[in-house]
A = this chain, B = another copy of it.
Amino acid sequence: MVRKPTSKETARKPNMREAILAAAEELFATNGFNAVSVRDIAHAAGANPGSVTYHFKTKDGLLLEIYRRHCGPMNLRRSELLAAAKRVRDLQDRLEAVVRAYVVPAFTSGSDLAGGGARFTRLRAVMSAEGNEVARKIIAQTFDDTSHAFIDAIHESLPHIPRTDIVWRSHFLLGALYYSLVTPDRVSRLSRGEADGGDAANAIEQLVQATVAAFQAPALDQAAPARRRTPASSKT
């Protein structure tokens, strides 16, 4: 059912608001928040600087809106995939499915809003590195529930591993995921061109494979004890 847009939705150019959001997302994700000026964003979107103020009030408001746009759909997709993964009977297969449910939406699109969740995930990585306050707050209150759900699901597949270890390993997973999106060129460089760090499908497979194995590692308490001394333990 197609309806005529009311005056409340119209705009001179086709959705300038969206163009600004997309440009900001791209620029923030590649250069960080502080390195990008409102003027840069406006220019990249083919808009006037004042237009950014009109739609989003402040630069922080613009960042906030980017998060609002993506967090919901991405968490929804993760929930769906997680629910499906939990129905897998074989424990080994289930673990892989759960990890995949966590990873896939981060690379492909949580939503197809403005083309690809990878860009948004990279944005999150950069904001987290910069210690951005706006991002820190919204991330903690939006993703912690999801993270706990995944940690619980993984713990169910690996009941003999302490929850603490699961938390650490899922933290490593997120770090690896972030870094893959931040500097994919490093993979290409170090592999001397044999691998393409920017190939999302391949990155996902590599990440899932490596991560599943990491989760399946023996628990720390029973693995570390007598094999080798803790190297930094001299100060403990």
A27: min CB distance to chain B, Å: 11
Is the beta-carbon distance between B96 and A131 smaller than 8 angstroms?
Answer: no
Question: Assembly of this chain: how many copies?
Answer: 2
Taking the complex as formed, is A2 at the interface, i.e. its CB lies under 8 A from any CB of chain B? Answer: no
Cα separation A171 to B191 with both chains bound (whole Å): 10
Contacts of A125 in B (CB 8 A): 129
Taking the complex as formed, is A91 at the interface, i.e. its CB lies under 8 A from any CB of chain B? Answer: no
Select which of B140, B151, B173, B210 is within 8 A of A168 by beta carbon: B210
Cα separation A214 to B34 with both chains bound (whole Å): 36
Cα separation A200 to B172 with both chains bound (whole Å): 14
Q: What residue of chain B has the Cβ atom nearest to residue A129's Cβ?
A: B129
Contacts of A130 in B (CB 8 A): 31-32, 35, 126, 129-130
A171: min CB distance to chain B, Å: 5
A190: min CB distance to chain B, Å: 5
Taking the complex as formed, is A4 at the interface, i.e. its CB lies under 8 A from any CB of chain B? Answer: no
Q: How many residues of A are counted as interface, with CB atoms below 8 angstroms from the partner's CB atoms?
A: 77
Is the beta-carbon distance between B191 and A167 smaller than 8 angstroms?
Answer: yes
A107: min CB distance to chain B, Å: 7
Contacts of A233 in B (CB 8 A): 201
Cα separation A223 to B206 with both chains bound (whole Å): 10
Taking the complex as formed, is A183 at the interface, i.e. its CB lies under 8 A from any CB of chain B? Answer: yes
Interface residues of A (CB under 8 A from B): 30-35, 93, 96, 100, 104, 107-108, 125-126, 128-131, 140, 144, 147-148, 151, 163-165, 167-180, 182-183, 186-187, 189-191, 194-195, 197, 200-201, 203-207, 209-218, 220, 223-224, 227-228, 230-233, 236
16 A-B residue pairs with CB within 8 Å: A31-B131, A32-B130, A96-B227, A126-B130, A129-B182, A130-B130, A140-B189, A144-B189, A167-B187, A167-B194, A168-B207, A174-B179, A200-B232, A201-B232, A209-B224, A213-B217
Which 7 A-B pairs give the minimum distances between C-beta atoms? A175-B179, A213-B217, A129-B129, A172-B176, A34-B34, A168-B206, A32-B130
